[in-house]
Amino acid sequence: MTVSLYHVAVVGAGPSGFYAAEALLRSGKDIEVDLFERLPVPYGLVRFGVAPDHPKLKQVTAVFERIAQMPGFRFIGGADIGVDISINDLRRSYHAVILATGAALGREIGLPGENLPGTHQASDFVGWYNGHPDCRDLTFDFGGERAVVIGHGNVALDVARILVKTPDELRHTDIAGHALEVLAESRIREVHLVGRGGPAGTRFSAKELQEFGTLEDCDPGVETGDLGADPFDSPHSTDPERKIAIGLLDAFSRRTWEKSKRCLFRFHLNPVCFEGDERVSRAVFRSSAAGEGLEQGVAIETNLVFLSVGRRSAPVANVPYDAARGVHANMGGRIGREGEEALGLYVCGWSKRGPQGTIGTNRACALDTVEKVLADLDALPLPHPAAADGVLSLIWERQGLRLDFDAWRAIDMAEVARGRTLGKPREKFVSVEAMIACALVDSFGRRVSYLRLSVTDRCDLPKASPI
């Protein structure tokens, strides 16, 4: 049955959520899109995942701003699906629901000692220095001289780079203020970047790897004893990007340690366990550099370990989950398994395919899912015409506030103003309460002018005005 107006809910206001909304609104069909986000602020990975010293990658938010201006778009911040409203209620209220919830959780590797204090998920550290409210109260011990980062991808590079940069190199970025303050007192002088494979098997981008050659007070190096024969001349390195990366690692292997800090790239080390009494004191590996059957044990003394071995999506109640892949179980974007399809429920982005590709990769992924939605729309069960508005009214009534895109703009302006006084692009609010205080709107549509906040989170609130 064909209807005159379709309502689609998208859950998750990161890149894939915005790209899905854009594809729906440009489809030529009469569609309205409600984009739900657990936090009062949008942009997901761009805000909380991109390293603070990579501001150009954050310029994509200008694209998302334009999408938010498209007719038929609504942003609903502070709406935790599964808490404020169930996924089943959403499905009953919208023609289709697209999950774009990302991959917020780090993958565990299942080794003894993995949960010792001092062993952390890289994703938690990234959230901490980027000001994610869920991570603001985490603590990391930077009192030792050596840290170990396990993983050979770009997130591992981000972690290592933030650990070895000087305070002055970070001061004028949008790094969270609490993180800069703690990192400025760090005693770390050496970071080991450890991976299972050789140089040709790394997933570093050449551009990010190149940055290590220009750090103010850190020299990159390679532990040549880990490498084995012909380490920088692999038959698998036919990809131009890989060749550049391998060439950079080759150059790093000939660098001498002259600056006060060093980032040491290590290869062919398989993690075995983490040892320590009350906290981690040693990471133990098995070296495969000498070949099969000739493995040797390698121990690195450290009180700080970061695991950067992948990410997974958080399960959602009443949504099939593929635990092996760490994504919502789906068939090309349609949620479900063979013979168990969840009608009208879809997925895109990292929660569809895993943490692969760049921010821009999510556009093609979202478009692929939206094509499935458009093909299915006329065959899907019809919700009540006013059901979507009823969902929003219910959420706003339960919260006693309305966090729309105008509310985000107020938060954005306040953060930029705070940053301006510090010579930074912005100084983020790191608590939900502080975010809300800048743009709180009650159920009567009035701007609220006061919330109890700590001194560091107070901001100049806008004058009361209707929205």
Query: Is 152 marked as binding a ligand?
Result: yes
Query: Is 256 marked as binding a ligand?
Result: no
Query: Is 396 marked as binding a ligand?
Result: no
Pick from 430, 450, 431: nearest CA to 440: 450
Quote the CA–CA distance of 382 and 449 in Å, as a whole number.
41
Query: Is 37 marked as binding a ligand?
Result: yes
Q: By the 8 A CB rule, do 392 and 94 touch? A: no
Q: Rounded to 5 degrees, what are φ and ψ at 238?
A: -85, -20
Q: By the 8 A CB rule, do 72 and 111 touch? A: no
Query: Is 153 marked as binding a ligand?
Result: yes
The residue assigned the tokens 């050496």 is 190
Quote the CA–CA distance of 167 and 162 in Å, as a whole number.
10
Query: Is 155 marked as binding a ligand?
Result: yes
Pick from 268, 295, 271: nearest CA to 282: 271
Q: Which two tokens stand for residue 256?
A: 């001498």
Q: Within 10 Å of residue 363's Cβ, how many Cβ atoms?
A: 21
Quote the CA–CA distance of 240 and 465 in Å, as a whole number.
56
Query: Is 358 marked as binding a ligand?
Result: yes
Query: Is 45 marked as binding a ligand?
Result: yes
Q: 42-64 burial, b if ≥16 CB within 10 A, otherwise e?
A: bbbbbbbbbbbbeeeebebbebb
Query: Is 154 marked as binding a ligand?
Result: yes
Q: Which two tokens stand for residue 30?
A: 């009469």
Quote the CA–CA distance of 395 and 389 in Å, as a whole number.
10
* Residues that constitute the known binding site for FAD: 16, 37, 45, 81, 350, 357-359
* Residues that constitute the known binding site: 16, 37, 45, 81, 152-155, 208, 350, 357-359
* Residues that constitute the known binding site for NADP(+): 152-155, 208, 357
